[in-house]
Each structure stands twice: as C-alpha cells, then as structure tokens.
C-alpha cells in the first residue's frame, strides 16, 4: 500500500525527481533467517556504495513463487530482478519477450568471473538473460545414527538390491527409511530424474526433450519402473502424499527418517525446518552415493542439480543489472554465503574458502561430472516439467504404471511443441 501512495506521489511530483534516484526491485525466495540477513545486508551495502540507488527486496515463498511466476512477469509492476532455475522455463520466458537481454550491460569482467557454464546456462538465441549465482546437486542425505540403530551398513546400499534390502531393515526396525515431500511433487521427481540420468544419459535425454526420440523409449520407462517399484515397498513416511518439502525436510532434520533425496540447499533448510531449529548434529549427517543400477547409458559421474541465478524483467534498469553483477561476483560477499553453507557460489574464487564438507563434496561432484543435468521440471519447461512432476508423484504413490507415466509425459511433450 505504501508503494501505491509512493507511486501516486511520484506521479504528482512529476518525473524530474524520480530520474536521479533508481529503485531496483528484487524478488528473492530466501527464507532461512540467517541467509536472509546476509542478503538484506548486501542490499544495504550496495545502497551505501551507490547513492541514488534504492534496493527494494520482495519475498515469495518457494511454492508461491513458482505458482505466481507465470502471472508475475506479465505485470507492469513486475520486479526488476527475480530468481530462476534456468532451463526450459527460461527459454519460454525469453521467447515470450518478458525478459530483458543484458549482454550490452554486463562487463567482460563479470562474464569471466561467472565462467562459461554459468553464461551459457543463461543464454538463449545469442542473448544473455541472466547472471548465474550458484550450482547445486541433488544428493541422498542420510542419518548415520539411524543407520547404526537399524544395523544398516551404508556401504551395503551402494547398489539397488542392497538399497532395497536396507530399506526393509529400516522398516523392520520401525524407522521411516525415506522422507519425501509428496505434496509438492517436485521432490518425487528427483527419484525418476536421477534414474533417467543414470539409465538414459545426456544424449538420450536431449533427444527425447527435443522430439528426436520419445520419452516412451526403454530407458525412461525403466527409470520410471524403479520409482514405481520403490514406492511399492513403502519406504516413505506415513502420509507422505500430504507432506510438503518442508515437512519432509523437518522430519529428516528431526532425525525421524533415515534418508532424504534432496538438493544440497537442504543442509540449512533441514535445520531450519526441524522442531528445535538445530536438527541433528553434523557428525551424524552423510551423503550416500545414489545406488547404482545395472546397465544404463549415463556416465556414472553425471550429476542432477541446478545452476541457478537471476533474471531481469523486460523493464529492468541498467542499475538492476549492475547491482546483480556486483552481488554475484563480489568475492568477499559470495564467500559469506559459501561459508554459511547456504549455496555453492559460481563466481570464481568465491567457493574457495568454503569449509563445509558436504558442500565441498557436492562442488567436487559437479566439477567431475561429464553432464550436470538440470532439474528436469525446470529443464523441460513449465508444461512438460509440470507433467514430469505429476507423474513422479503418481509413480511414488503407485497410482500409475511406468508405461502410462512415460506415455503421459510424451503426450505432454508433443503437445508443447
């Protein structure tokens, strides 16, 4: 409301006074309090370094942000800067013309600091649309104390048969083997996607996504079948279909589930979502290699995760871009995010001081990866990605067969073309 009054006041006063000052509106989805404090602090620092620039932060909670994204960008009041996971969603936004190309503003220095992977992830048709912020990976978090309690040896779970046997042991011990936020659906999509990365590999995925091949091809169905079979042995917590990501994260953080397949960002979220805001101690936390399956065309080093950053809406000012260049490439600032283990910054040198062993391991995984597959729901764009999520949730619940799920996905892909 204050903004309407302000807007009205500006309109009355005329634009002369508005020219000197620029307000940059910045929409973020950060809810962990300490990380938020860093982010707000950075905005204030930039303001003090650049008189005349006001940074106004806006916040949308993760699910609300995704739900609003489609309508958000069509508003004349759209934020200048907003978070993005890139992928097909970005492609569609760029094609719709709601984004501002920024290659004319971004300096070579920034491009060098971000690196080629970061630049190409946010380029479409020869234009640069965004500034990359971080890389992330979906990993299988596990609770060592619960493994010990159930008498499960983590090493025994390295292949699928061992994994299934371990799950049975947890169930026998009365421990929930896997926490999952089924209601939000995208947490379920990690399971299918991880399997696709392993069984189909980069080439087959790209072909299916572009229409040269089909999602009903054998590796995709086989990958779906693994998730379906997993669901059949009921490894998830009771009521998982009504649980959100935060519910599942909190459950794992409280030490009430042995495993959680989730992005590395969950390291801070699992603590923040736990009942005591601390979660269980780090020495009991581990990253389990995703179980291997026989066959498969994917490179074993391939990872699934994100390369996220910031996009600029159509009417964004140069100031907005300059602010983001500073924000993402200021090494000292990004190091703070790395040290707090909120995310792994992409800017050159920013992750060097990172000491968190989990984050270091993830950074190493991504470095070694031949293919760092982007979250499929983002990579495939809003329509097809949405169906991928829907189908993953249904596979986990056992309400659709692997063949039918693949067919639905293929139908959506054809429809979107």
Partner 1 sequence: MAAFRRRFGDPKSLAAVAILVTPALVLFVIFVLWPLFNAFLFSFYKWNGYGPLEQLVGVDNYADVVDHRAFPLALRNTVIIAIASLLIQLPLALWVALALYQKAWFVSIFRTIFFLPYMLGEVAAGLIWKFVYDGNYGLLPVVGDALHTDMPFLLADRFWVIPAIILVIVWKYFGFHMMIYIAGLQSIPNEVIEAARLDGVSKWKIMWFVKIPMLRSSIVISVFFAIVGSLQLFDIILPLTGGGPGNASHTLVSFLYYFGILRMKIGFGGAMSVILFVLCVGVTIIYRRLLFARADA
Partner 2 sequence: MTQKRKLSVVGTRPEISLLQWTTIGLITLFILIPFYSTALGGFKTTGELRVNPFGLPASWDGANFALILGGDTFFLFMWNSLVIALFTVILSVVVSAMAAFALSHIRFFGRTYLTSLFMLGLLFPFATAILPLFITIRDMGLLDNPTAVILPQVAFNLAFSMLLFRSFFQELPIELIEAARMDRCGYLRIFWHIVLPLSLPILTTVGVFAFVTSWNNFLLPLIMLNNDTSFPWPLGIMQFQGQYNTDWPKVLAFLTLTILPALVFFLLAQRYIISGLTGGAVKG
Residues that bind partner 1 (CB under 8 A): 67, 70-71, 74, 92, 95-98, 182-183, 238-243, 382-383, 386, 390, 393-394, 397, 399-400, 408, 415
Joined together, the tokens standing for residue 268 give: 């801070």
Task: Give least dist CB 124 to partner 1, A.
Answer: 15
Kindly tell me which of 130 and 182 has the beta carbon lying closer to partner 1: 182
In angstroms, rounded to a whole number, what is the distance separating the alpha carbons of residues 262 and 408? 25
Site string for partner 2, 186-225 (x = CB under 8 A): ----------------------------------------
Phi, psi dihedrals of residue 265, rounded to the nearest 5°: -60, -20
CA distances from 93 to 24, 73, 132, 255, 409 (A): 20, 9, 16, 40, 21
Measured at the alpha carbon of residue 97, what is the angle toward residues 91 and 98, in degrees to the nearest 5?
Answer: 90
Q: How far is the CB of 71 from partner 2 (least distance, A)?
A: 6
Nearest distance in Å: CB 343, partner 1: 26
Host H or E run for residue 26: strand 22-28
Residue 386: contacted member of partner 1, partner 2, none (CB under 5 to 8 Å, by partner type) = partner 1
The first and second tokens of residue 271, run together, are 């603590």
Shortest Å, Cβ 393 to partner 1: 6
Look at residue 288 and give its three-state secondary structure: strand
- Binding partner 2 (rule: CB under 8 A), the pick from 35, 247, 330, 377 is 247
Question: Sign of dihedral through CA atoms 165, 166, 167, 172?
Answer: positive
Contact of 267 with 357, CB cutoff 8 Å: no
Q: Do residues 360 and 135 lie in contact, with contact meaning Cβ atoms separated by under 8 Å?
A: no
74 binds partner 2 (CB under 8 A): yes
- Residues whose CB falls within 8 Å of the CB of residue 7, separated by 6 or more in sequence, listed in order: none
CB of 246 to partner 1, least distance (A): 13
Q: Distance from CA of residue 374 to its chain's centroid? A: 9
Question: For partner 2, which is the closer residue by CB, 72 or 173?
Answer: 72
- The nearest distance, CB 276 to partner 1, in angstroms, is 15
Please choose, out of 155-163, 245-253, 292-300, 365-373, the segment that lies near partner 2 by the rule CB under 8 A. Answer: 245-253
Restricted to residues 254-283, the positions that interact with partner 2 (CB under 8 A) are: 273-275
Q: How many residues bind partner 2 (CB under 8 A)?
A: 29
The contact set with partner 2 (CB under 8 A) reads: 1-4, 31, 58-64, 68, 71-72, 74-79, 244, 246-247, 249-250, 273-275
């Amino acid at each position: 409301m204050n903004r309407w009054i302000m807007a009205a006041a500006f309109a009355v006063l005329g634009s002369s006074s508005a020219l000197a000052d620029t307000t940059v509106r910045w929409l973020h989805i950060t809810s962990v309090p300490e990380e938020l404090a860093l982010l707000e602090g950075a905005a204030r620092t930039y303001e003090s370094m650049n008189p005349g620039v006001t940074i106004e932060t806006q916040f949308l909670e993760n699910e609300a942000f995704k739900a609003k994204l489609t309508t958000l960008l069509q508003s004349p009041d759209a934020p200048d800067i907003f978070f993005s996971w890139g992928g097909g969603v970005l492609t569609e936004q760029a094609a719709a013309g709601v984004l501002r190309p920024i290659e004319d503003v971004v300096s070579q220095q920034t491009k060098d600091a971000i690196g080629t992977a970061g630049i190409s992830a946010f380029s479409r048709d020869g234009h640069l649309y965004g500034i990359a912020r971080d890389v992330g990976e979906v990993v299988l978090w596990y609770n060592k104390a619960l493994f010990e309690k159930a008498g499960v040896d983590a090493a025994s779970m390295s292949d699928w048969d061992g994994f299934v046997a371990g799950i049975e042991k947890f169930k026998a011990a009365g421990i929930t083997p896997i926490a999952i936020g089924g209601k939000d659906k995208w947490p379920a999509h990690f399971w299918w996607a991880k399997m696709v990365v392993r069984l189909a590999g980069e080439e087959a995925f790209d072909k299916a996504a572009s229409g040269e091949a089909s999602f009903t091809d054998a590796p995709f169905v086989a990958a779906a079948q693994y998730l379906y079979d997993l669901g059949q042995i009921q490894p998830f917590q009771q009521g998982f279909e009504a649980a959100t990501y935060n519910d599942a994260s909190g459950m794992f953080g409280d030490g009430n589930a042995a495993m959680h397949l989730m992005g590395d960002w969950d390291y801070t979220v699992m603590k923040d979502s736990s009942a005591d805001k601390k979660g269980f101690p780090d020495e009991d936390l581990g990253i389990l290699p995703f179980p291997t399956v026989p066959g498969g065309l994917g490179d074993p080093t391939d990872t699934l995760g994100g390369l996220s950053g910031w996009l600029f809406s159509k009417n964004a000012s140069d100031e907005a871009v300059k602010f983001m260049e500073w924000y993402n490439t200021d090494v000292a600032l990004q190091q703070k995010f790395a040290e707090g283990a909120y995310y792994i910054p992409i800017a050159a040198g920013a992750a060097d001081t990172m000491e968190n062993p989990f984050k270091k391991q993830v950074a190493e995984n991504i470095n070694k990866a031949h293919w760092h597959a982007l979250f499929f729901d983002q990579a495939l764009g809003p329509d097809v990605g949405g169906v991928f999520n829907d189908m993953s949730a249904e596979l986990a619940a056992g309400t659709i067969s692997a063949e039918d799920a693949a067919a639905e996905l293929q139908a959506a892909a054809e429809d979107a073309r």
